[in-house]
Each structure stands twice: as C-alpha cells, then as structure tokens.
Amino acid sequence: MTGTYSGQFAMQGFLNLDWAQWKILFITRLVAMAPTLAVLAWTDMRTATFLNDLLNTVMSIQLPFAIIPTLCFTSSPFIMGEFSNGIFNKIAVCLLSVVVICINIVFVIQYVGAMVPNKWFYLLPLGLCGAGYFLFIGYLTLYMFICIGWTSLANIPFIAKYYRVENASKIGITHND
C-alpha cells in the first residue's frame, strides 16, 4: 500500500499529470497488484506465503529508514514552517515510532532465527550486518533528537565533530568551537 500511495502521489504531483482521480487510482493499483497476481498464477500458496513473509521482513528492516527521517522533516520548522510538529505531536509520534520499530525488530529476529541455520558462518555475517544496522539507526535517532528540539546534543564535542555546521544553522543551533 505504501508503494501504491507513493506512486499515486508521484503521478499527481511530480509528473504534473492532470488525470481524473479514478484513472490514477486504477493505474497505481494495477501496477501494485500485477506482480502479486503474476506470482500467484505461476506458483503455489506455500511459495506465495514464503515470499510474503520475506517481503514483510525486508520492509521491517527498512522501516526505520522511512520513519526517522520523516520525523526529522516534519519536526523541522526550517522545512515545515508553521506546519511543523508541536511538542505533543513530537512526543506521541516518537513513542509510537519506538513501539512500531521494536515490534518489527522482534519480528525480524524471530524470522531470521527460524530461517537461518544456527552455524557460526551464517550468524557471523548477520551479526556484523546487524551491528552496522543498529549503529546507523542510532545515528539517525541522534539526528532526529536534534531535529525535534534536543539541540543541546549538537554541542557535545563528539557529536559536533560529525554534525555539520550548515545543518545546525538550519535549525538554529550554534556550536561552541
């Protein structure tokens, strides 16, 4: 559904198509459903279920890369102006995002635990990739905290070293170098 809606909005806005709403809905739904119908036509239900579980796992892994930047953008007065999130929205959306991301991480861990053999040569690369994944999610989360208003984080020397000054000036932070 996310891909369908983004395709619909891309067709409406970015491509400047002046089509009737029903035509846009029909085309985007057709594009979204055609691969699924093709898979179901040439495979059995077990394969379709496996592919669905795999797709859900991949989307669960990618979810923080959509949610966290969205929170940064919608909370930034520089980007959103008067429409930026208020303090109540920031708190509520951050808490809701933590719950959703944690549920998805549990799902991924369970899926990987069920699908990957318990051998070191499988688990070592997955562990290294997982460590890099969580480090990057931590980086995005730190950036999000700065964007939603916890600007004193940007003045910590270790963080200020990696946080570009032009980014800071966009949201009103001054570095004490």
Q: What pLDDT, in 10s, does the model give residues 103-121? A: 999 999 999 999 999 999 9
Q: What is the pLDDT of residues 11-47, one digit of tens each?
A: 666 666 677 878 877 887 787 788 888 888 898 889 9
**Rounded Cα–Cα distance for residues 156 and 101 (Å):** 27
**Rounded Cα–Cα distance for residues 159 and 153 (Å):** 7
Q: Which two tokens stand for residue 10?
A: 């891309």
Q: Which two tokens stand for residue 32?
A: 């979204």
Quote the pTM value: 0.70
**Rounded Cα–Cα distance for residues 113 and 32 (Å):** 30
